Structure 1
Amino acid sequence: MKTHVRALVIGGGAVGTSIAYHLAKAGWETMLIERDELTSGSTWHAAGLLPYFNMSYASSHIHDYSIKFYKTLEEETGLNPGFSVVGNLRMAQSRERMDEYMLYATTAETVGIPYEWLTPAQIKERYPLVRTEDLEGAIFHPTDGYINPADVTMAMAKGARQHGAVIERKWQADAYHWAGDHWEVTLTKMAEKGGNLIATDEQVIVHADHVVTATGNHAQRTARLLGIKTPAVPVEHQYIVTEPDPALVEWRKTNGEHPVLRDVDARWYVREERGGWILGPYEDGAPARFRYSVPDSFRADLFPLNLERIEQEYMDFIHRIPSTEEVGLKDDFNGPICYTPDGNPLLGPAPGLQNMWLAEGFSFGITAAGGAGHYLAQLMTEGEAEIDMGSLDPKRYGDWMTSEYAVQKNEETYPFLLKVHWPDEERPAARPLRTAPCYDRMKDHGAQFGQVNGWERPNYFAPLGFDDMASNSFRRGGWWQYARDEAEAIRNGVGLIDATAFAKHRISGPGATAFLDWFTTNRLPKVGRINLTYALSTAGTTRTEYTIVRQGENDYYLVSAGGLHAYDEDYLYKAIWEKEDEFGRINEEDVTTKWGVFAIAGPKSRDVLADLIRDPEPERALSNKRFPWLSARDIELGMVPVKAIRVAYTGELGWELHHPIEMQNHLFDRLMEAGEKHGLKLVGARAQNWLRQEKSYRAFGTELGRDATPLEAGLDRFVDLTKNFHGKAAMEATGLRSKCITLHIAGPNDADPWGREALYRNGERVGRCTSGGYSVAAAKSIAMGYVTPDHATPGTELEVKMFDRLWPAIVTEDSPYDPGNKRIRVDS
């Protein structure tokens, strides 16, 4: 066994072998270790389906790569991975489900994924075994299908060896130690005894520059060994294999293999298996297993089948394929498959650890394995992947997450896999959990909450008793009118927004100024002033957005996106650790839960605050002279000391009011009292999202991410090219591959874009939307997105794909609402 390698991969399932293959192909000296046999985890009992369908842009790229990559393996390795390219027919029983497919389809077009639409009559003509009278239609992917999980894993393992990787079986990772510049991983030799796998006394320490964990069902044990937390917990997935279906056998005499069928409204899939069918349901009540660790006695084992739990799905299967009614059951499987609370894998750098990479929580491990290995290898060997991997980053869950939270959310996620994925849905399990003090007050005012990084945040406000779940839609749901009223209130009067979920950090010390000057793109503000700035990835793309308040010569208050708290914090802290010797001592403090935040905005916001401010000259205290735009002051509102920042994400006169969180309810009550005579309205995140698009304010996770530079995002004014900063050379070398634009859309009168749609000009796809909504100022749909530079000029006519139609759109000037910022700067 090698004891010194550049990359050590832990775990020999499909994901681990793919990572080893791609790292070795990139030229890294790689070794993979597996505690048992290759494929002995969830890989061996996976059904092997390769569905393209995924509502995530990043995951769509990963699945697309996998499907194309698997088709090349036999030529490269000589091993047939068992890929049956039979296509995938995804059926719909309702109009709403077809709306979901159409939103997915326009996202698929941005990736280049092929698909076809089929009517019920066309389904019946092609596939007469399927009952279609209660269907609305289907989407068909002709280029995917299913694969043999063991065969594709062995093919990737052989390919990894051909590229120089070493694979060692029967070794378990039992300890990880960071030695300052590399990892020392203690491996224990495993042996079989009485059918069990036991640890022997033989151990070896492997020195590795980088370590990747792809430990599947053992993710909780791995996390404990690393001293981190993970929400990856397995859930039972059962499927049954039928005896041969005579009708299917007869059909096959004159036809090719039947495509994979998914009746997602009935929550099951089926595929052929030796003349019969494999039926895989996604039922309610599937329990999580191994919430702390996998028992030593559990190897390639299964759980007892629970037919009562899947009785409804089984009856629906018979309904859809009537010929199966008399077909007997041949075999059954019920095994653990790892999940995460949002269904996406944990793929990327581990929190708080150098050169440690996670590839855990793959509920679609076979589908994602190829692409996960490809893009993770890019991230490791090149410093960044060609797609933004932020939505899959392991740090999207912070230290507040517990095993109980993971269990509840994963048990919820499992049946949701085939439920309608509403773009505006908010799933209820494990909520509320993280709440600001004003939560109950806002709830009493009709707040309909969303969850952001565990925080409850109002999405909009509706009359008491309003059913948020019932208002979900791919078009303008029941919430839309309330969000419109809130947006109009800020444009014409005054609104109050709870922004407590913002991530907040204090950076101070002798080295703080030099560090932040190197770490961020913009010039640092003067004391008492603020600026908007960006931290870049090593590839020069946008990694984090910060509002920086300079409180003293070497004292800074940083505000960033609440949904990316741990993601941003980890990047910031790792940069500090790297540079402290160079710049001097730097103190970092996470003050997120110390400060609550209200954002007050609108033409009357100054009037509301003037009634509360404790100042010798209250009528002048908030004037441009004493409190100019992009400045910060310590003020008193009622009995509350407030760090007030004159900035507004809505594009109106406004302030962020950062206050001691224990005083939040007092401040809320005083603001509501003072605002009553001015018509103050509580406002949620959906209206705020529309308003920021009217100002062309880029949002992190949509317009801003690791696949575009700040210059491509049109943020030149926040990039000081006269100074040296991290990622500058890479940013300049990248050039302008695309440009961020804002669009007004003459779309359907009952729907707005969601920010996932493809953009066209003269029949050619030229870009994609990243955000979408409604503009109350223009009284039409609005969107932001990226196009090739030659299509970014204001006035350019484009088309946006919505509901399988192309709708006219026009590129606007940046900030179509108040481009001169007169309303933000208005004086008293």
Structure 2
Amino acid sequence: MKIHVKALVVGGGAVGTAIAYHLGKAGWDTMLLERDELTSGSTWHAAGLLPYFNMSYATTHIHDYSIKFYKTLEEETGLNPGFFVVGNLRMAQTQERMDEYMLYASTAETCGVPYEWLSPSQIAERWPLLRTEDLKGAIFHPTDGYINPADVTMAMAKGARQHGVTVERRWQVDAYDWTGSEWRVTVTKMAEKGGNLVPTEERQVITAEHVVTATGNHAQRTAKLLGIKIPAIPVEHQYIVTEPDPALVAWRNEGNPQHPVLRDADAKWYVREERGGWILGPYERNAPARFEYGVPDSFRADLFPLDLERIEEEYMSMIHRIPSSEEVGLKDDYNGPICYTPDGNPLLGPAPGLRNMWLAEGFSFGITAAGGAGKYLADLMVEGEAEIDMGALDPRRYGDWMTTEYAARKNEEAYEHVYILHHPDEERPACRPLRTSPAYDRQKAEGAQFGHVNGWERPNYYAPAGFDDHAARSFRRGGWWQYAADEARAIREAAGLIDASAFTKHLVRGPGATAFLDWFTCNRLPKVGRINLTYALTVAGTVRTEYTIVRLAEDEYYLISSGALTAYDGDYLRKAAEDKRDAFGWIDIHDVTTQWGVFAIAGPKSRDILKEIVKDADPDTVLGNKRFPWLSMRNIELGMCPVRAVRVAYTGELGWELHHPIEMQNYLWDQLMAAGGKHGLKLVGARAQNWLRQEKSYRAFGNELGRDATPLEAGLDRFVDTSKEFHGKQAMLDTGIRFKCVTLLVDGPEDADPWGREALYDGATRVGRLTSGGFSVAFGKSIGMGYVAPDRAAPGTKLQVKMFDRLWDAEVIEDSPYDPENRAIRADG
């Protein structure tokens, strides 16, 4: 066994072997350790399906890479990975399900994924064993199918060895220790005794510059060894294998090909052929989480007892869809652990708080994702950044507030939701409310319909008593749409109050703070009492984080960033500061997110409302442009509440962000509500705010801004000071302009707006994709933002948006189409 490597991969399932393969291919000296045998975790009992279907742009790329990569393995390694390219037929019983497929299909087009539409009669003609009279249609992926999980894992392991990777079995990791420059990993040799796997006296210490954990069901043990939280906990997944179906056997004996992998999403199952019979895999309700605190030592390649009553409904629906299966007996059954995360996406990227420790955990669709996960994580490790934005998969998207109980219950929900309609406006209910601002009960009493961001409850919109948010969801304009439109108009015409308390807030101060932030971000730093919008870049010159920086003193700064990514931003900020402490001096960083609440008040009447309650010797001028100009911060008093007021508005109207001590939030809320009544103040949620910011072409992090585009490609040249040196500058300049961010007005359907996942066309040529979408109250039509080829970015360019399998006219318009001269936001009083 080697005792020093550049990269140590822990875990010998499909994901671990794929990562080892790609690290070896990149030239890194790599070793893979497996505590038992390769594939002995969830890989061995996986059904081996390779579904393209995913609403995430990044995950679609990962799945696409896997499917293409697996087709190359036999030529490279000589081992057949057992890939049956039979296609994937995803059926729909309702028009709403077809709407979901059409939204997904437009996303798939942006990644170059092929698909076909089939009518019920076409399905019946191709596959007469299926009952189709109650279907609306289906989407068919001809290029995927299913694969043998053990075979593809062994093929990747052989390929890894061919690239110089060492593979060691029966070694268990018992300790990780960071020396400041490398990891010391203590491992114990395991042996089989009485059917169990037990540690021996043989131990070894391996040093590695980088460690990757791909420990699957053992993620909770890994978390304890590392002293971090990993919300990857298995959930029971069962599937059954039938005896041969005579009708299917006859069909195949007639020379017909295999059926595609069948998915009846409304019935919550998948089915595929298996040696003349069928495999049924349901995603039923009430599947329990297992191993919340670790896998028992006695559990190896084991299974749980089958619970047929739990899947009875899904079993009967299979018989309905494939009538010939009714008389077929059961041959085998499997009920094994499959790891999930609270949002269903894997945890792929840097471990929070640790150096050179990488997580690849929580793969509920591990076979589908393994190849792409290996490729893009290796890119991230070797090159410093991947070509796709990995932010949606980053392990730091969950903070320390997350508990084992939360992860277990949300993972059960994620399992149950595999085939539940994925509305773009969906809000899943498990474990909520959990993180609430003090004004939560007041907002709820006013009709707030909440979403959640990083666990925080945040009003999406306000509706009358008795309104059913779940029933209001749709792939078109849901029942909430009119309320959001009214809220948006209120901000344009009078005033609106938005709870933005979920914003991430960091205090950065100390002798090295100014030099550090000047290097860390691409814009000029503001003067004391002023603010600036700026960006921290990746090593590739793309956007890593968006910050509003408020300068409180010469060496003290208040940083405001996305509420969804507190741990993600904080971890990167702290590590960067540690790296530069010797160069710049002492830097103190505090996460003060939960200490400060934030209300955003915006609209032409917002100054009048604040004048009612501001305490100052001259209340008529304290909020005017002379004493309180746009893009500045002042400490003011609203009644008895001290407020750090920031004159900025994400809606593009006159407005302020009112940062206040969180314990005084209810008092401030009551003051604002009382003062706002005669000025037409309306409570406003996040959806209206999202529409309004698009009318100003304000880019949103996680939409227009991410790790796959530079700030220059995002059209943020005015926030980049190329006269100074900053992290990622040269890479940004070297990248050039591959595509441009644009704003478009869309002549779309009367009952729908784009969601920001749609493909953009110029005639028959796909030229880009939307990253945001919604409705513009100012222009009375749909609006969107996205990226297009540079030669299609000029205002006036006519394009089309793919919605509901149709192309709808759209036009590129000038940035900030609403109030381009910023007269409203600069208005004096």
TM over 0.5: yes
Q: Distance in 2 between matches of 1:671 and 1:541?
A: 40
**Residue aligning to 2:247:** 247
Alignment of 1:455-470 (within 5 A): 455-470=456-471
Q: CA deviation at 1:554?
A: 0.2
Number of aligned residues? 828
**Residue aligning to 1:545:** 546
* DSSP-derived class of the 1:593 partner: helix
Alignment of 1:420-819 (within 5 A): 420-819=421-820
* DSSP-derived class of the 1:189 partner: strand
Q: Distance in 2 between matches of 1:184 and 1:768?
A: 45
1:488-543 Cα shifts (integer Å, max 9, x gaps)? 00000000000000000100000000000000000000000000000000100000
Q: Distance in 2 between matches of 1:189 and 1:729?
A: 47
Q: Distance in 2 between matches of 1:225 and 1:388?
A: 29
Q: CA deviation at 1:152?
A: 0.1
Q: CA deviation at 1:581?
A: 1.1
Q: CA deviation at 1:93?
A: 0.2
* DSSP-derived class of the 1:332 partner: strand
Q: Distance in 2 between matches of 1:543 and 1:455?
A: 22
1:391-434 Cα shifts (integer Å, max 9, x gaps)? 00001110000000001101111110011100000000000000
Q: Which amino acid aligns with 2:108?
A: A
Q: Which amino acid aligns with 1:33?
A: L
**Residue aligning to 2:46:** 46
Q: CA deviation at 1:202?
A: 1.0
Q: Distance in 1 between matches of 2:276 and 2:429?
A: 41
Q: Distance in 2 between matches of 1:579 and 1:206?
A: 29
Q: Distance in 2 between matches of 1:200 and 1:103?
A: 54
1:331-387 Cα shifts (integer Å, max 9, x gaps)? 000000000011000000000001000000000000000000000000000010000
Q: Distance in 2 between matches of 1:639 and 1:777?
A: 37
**Residue aligning to 1:119:** 119
Q: Where does the alignment leave 5 or more consecutive residues of structure 2 unmatched?
A: none
Q: Where does the alignment leave 5 or more consecutive residues of structure 1 unmatched?
A: none
**Residue aligning to 2:30:** 30
**Residue aligning to 2:377:** 376
Q: Distance in 1 between matches of 2:119 and 2:298?
A: 50
Q: Distance in 2 between matches of 1:815 and 1:342?
A: 34
Q: CA deviation at 1:59?
A: 0.4
Q: Distance in 1 between matches of 2:362 and 2:393?
A: 10
Q: Distance in 2 between matches of 1:584 and 1:623?
A: 39
Q: CA deviation at 1:465?
A: 1.2
* DSSP-derived class of the 2:380 partner: helix
**Residue aligning to 2:89:** 89
Q: Distance in 2 between matches of 1:786 and 1:115?
A: 23
Q: Distance in 2 between matches of 1:218 and 1:812?
A: 52
Alignment of 1:82-161 (within 5 A): 82-161=82-161
Q: Distance in 2 between matches of 1:238 and 1:165?
A: 34
Q: Distance in 2 between matches of 1:599 and 1:690?
A: 16
Q: CA deviation at 1:279?
A: 0.3
**Residue aligning to 1:307:** 308
Q: Distance in 1 between matches of 2:109 and 2:597?
A: 41
Q: Distance in 2 between matches of 1:227 and 1:519?
A: 28
The TM-score normalised by the length of structure 1 is 1.00
1:181-217 Cα shifts (integer Å, max 9, x gaps)? 1111111111110000011111111110000000000
Q: CA deviation at 1:623?
A: 0.4
Q: Distance in 1 between matches of 2:123 and 2:237?
A: 28
Q: Distance in 2 between matches of 1:616 and 1:259?
A: 76
1:730-776 Cα shifts (integer Å, max 9, x gaps)? 00000000000000000000000000000000210000000000000
Q: Distance in 1 between matches of 2:7 and 2:669?
A: 53
Q: Distance in 2 between matches of 1:181 and 1:788?
A: 43
Q: Distance in 1 between matches of 2:415 and 2:506?
A: 35
**Residue aligning to 1:209:** 209
**Residue aligning to 1:75:** 75
Q: Which amino acid aligns with 1:156?
A: M
* DSSP-derived class of the 2:631 partner: coil
Percent same amino acid at aligned positions?
78
**Residue aligning to 1:234:** 234
Flag as ranges the 4+ runs of structure 1 deviating above 4 A: none
Q: Which amino acid aligns with 1:20?
A: A
Q: Distance in 2 between matches of 1:482 and 1:213?
A: 46
Q: Distance in 2 between matches of 1:311 and 1:240?
A: 12
1:441-476 Cα shifts (integer Å, max 9, x gaps)? 000000000010000000000001100000110000
Q: Distance in 1 between matches of 2:391 and 2:454?
A: 14
Q: CA deviation at 1:258?
A: 1.2
Q: Distance in 2 between matches of 1:358 and 1:702?
A: 24
* DSSP-derived class of the 2:65 partner: helix
Q: CA deviation at 1:230?
A: 1.1
Q: Which amino acid aligns with 2:222?
A: T
Q: Which amino acid aligns with 2:228?
A: I
Q: Which amino acid aligns with 2:15?
A: V
Q: Distance in 1 between matches of 2:350 and 2:592?
A: 24
Q: Which amino acid aligns with 2:755?
A: W
* DSSP-derived class of the 1:516 partner: helix
**Residue aligning to 1:415:** 416
Q: Which amino acid aligns with 2:710?
A: T
Q: CA deviation at 1:673?
A: 0.1
Q: Distance in 1 between matches of 2:771 and 2:664?
A: 37
* DSSP-derived class of the 2:570 partner: helix
Q: Distance in 2 between matches of 1:622 and 1:763?
A: 53
Q: Distance in 2 between matches of 1:267 and 1:393?
A: 28
1:44-66 Cα shifts (integer Å, max 9, x gaps)? 00000001111110000000000
Q: CA deviation at 1:262?
A: 0.3
Q: Distance in 1 between matches of 2:199 and 2:821?
A: 70
* DSSP-derived class of the 1:434 partner: coil
Q: Distance in 2 between matches of 1:612 and 1:533?
A: 32
* DSSP-derived class of the 1:772 partner: strand
Q: Distance in 2 between matches of 1:780 and 1:680?
A: 25
1:574-625 Cα shifts (integer Å, max 9, x gaps)? 1011111110000111110100000000000000000000001101010000
Q: Distance in 2 between matches of 1:405 and 1:792?
A: 45
Confirm or deny that 1:172 pairs with 2:195. no
Q: Distance in 2 between matches of 1:501 and 1:297?
A: 43
1:285-344 Cα shifts (integer Å, max 9, x gaps)? 100000010000000000000000000000000000000010000000000000001100
1:615-666 Cα shifts (integer Å, max 9, x gaps)? 0110101000000000000000010000000000000000000000000000
1:49-102 Cα shifts (integer Å, max 9, x gaps)? 001111110000000000000000000000000000000000000000000000
Q: Distance in 1 between matches of 2:260 and 2:251?
A: 12
**Residue aligning to 1:317:** 318
